[in-house]
Chain A
Amino acid sequence: MGTSFRKPVAPSADKRWKIVEASMRRLGNQSHALIEALHTVQEAFGFLDADSLRFVATSLRVPLSQAFGVATFYHYFTMKPPGRHTCVVCTGTACYIKGAGKLLTDMEKQYGIKPGETTADGNVSLLTARCLGACGLAPAVVFDGQVAGKVNSADMLAKAGRWGQ
């Protein structure tokens, strides 16, 4: 006890760590900045890994176990790098009633992956969302960040097909 706190060094010279440091500094490098910091890391790098968790935990002086606990508790955080393209099928109630289940199985069949997985070539990730809140447009699918409404299987597979091999 009593030893002075030494600021940890960022895992690499990557400039994006500056953004992460700034977000933690904005909240006074206090422990409650943990979720905000993890959001910033994921936004900058696309996912969380051991290095980033260790860096954030040390900077905010929280145990690594707590950072890992938070990162795995919340669905929004992912510890796997996403594919080049993402297809998010909404599985909210309205979408479910209007056939989101079939959309999901059709994607699974076409690409041989389950929700949360990425094709072996790293091209396409299949994800699900609890509810996009686009219930008026059910069933909804997000292709690379673009929400599409009233989607049917043929449209969906055609759109994903254009992402190439």
Chain B
Amino acid sequence: MPGSRHSRFASAHDVELCGFAATGERRAFGELVRRHGSAVRGVLRRMGAQTAEADDVAQDAFLTAFERIAEFRGEGTFAAWVKKIAARIYLRRLQRDRRLTLMTAEAIEDEADPPRGDADANIDLEEALKALGEAERLCVSMCFGAGLSHTEAAEALNLPLGTVKSHVKRGLEKLRTRLAPEDGVVLEGRRGNG
């Protein structure tokens, strides 16, 4: 009875759903897509993908995840795993269309001071990300949104590790000036996850 199966899946934990999906149960995987689709599409949009492209890539990422569901060991969350897959697929698209080369080249030349934000203004993340160069936005989103380490991001982008770190550092500096501080904390520093 399809209705009861759907309700059973709706109350199941992600790990259980992955187990069902591993046996070929597509409705269980559909429940996972229902739960985490928005998050995956959101990360892709924040990486700079247009709405339609983000949806295409997210669909491909979920299909890939279904094919490779047996590889998911439950070490992290399912959403984090699919986000990484989606980020890599998006990067491959950029490389295939030669958009990535242009993007990183432009970013290296772009050394202008970031526009200063009003610290009291509560600017959301989407708006703040618009202040970043494309490569900075990509690197920051990959590391903080898709959960890739600097090394993984460098490998995926086919860029030297130092270049990725520079993009992330500059991106964080710009974001810090755009995002209103929480509880009046003065924010400085950088990420160093290798």
A and B held together in a complex = no
Q: Which residues of A contact B (CB under 8 A)?
A: none
Q: Which residues of B contact A (CB under 8 A)?
A: none
